[in-house]
Amino acid sequence: TIQDSKTVSSASAAMLSESTPLDTPDDWKNALDKAGPGILLIEHLNLNLLKTAAGDAFYGDLLGCTRDPRRTPSKTPHHNCGAMTQFHTASPETEKAIEEQGSQVWRGEITIAYRKNDFQKLCQRLTEFQKDPSILS
């Protein structure tokens, strides 16, 4: 699920649908109640990916996360998503081991909140991705 600060939208295969305005605290509460039980915040999520470049392209170029500049290119990349959340992906040093074991798959949903302007930019990037999915390979 991808969301901005005014709208909650579902993304499936880079297609957006089911928008719900979130203008008041009650709108947010109702949206969270509908979501059901679950974790509301994960500050750090470690994922093993086959290629560091694919992680950079997906989390950085597509989702718009900022790669933590304090991390050298040979270390595990930290893709910052707002002030509190990071996606940690494989470093070039660990790619060989991950290739043998396979990449991890997150089974569930992760919601990312975007400001309206940033959400519009995300939609543009998703449209480009639909045209050329090889961007992430």
In the sheet where 78-81 sits, what is the strand order?
44-47, 85-89, 78-81, 66-67
- What one-character DSSP code corresponds to residue 125? H
Asked whether the whole model's pTM tops 0.75, one would answer no
pLDDT in tens, 14-66: 222 234 555 667 776 776 677 666 666 678 888 888 888 888 888 999 999 99
Mean pLDDT, rounded, for 127-134 = 85
Residue 123: the pLDDT is: 92
Sole residue written with tokens 């519009």: 120
Average pLDDT of the chain to the nearest whole number: 75
pLDDT over 90 (residue 79): yes
Closest CA to 84 of 106, 112, 107, 108: 112
CA distance 59 to 86: 10
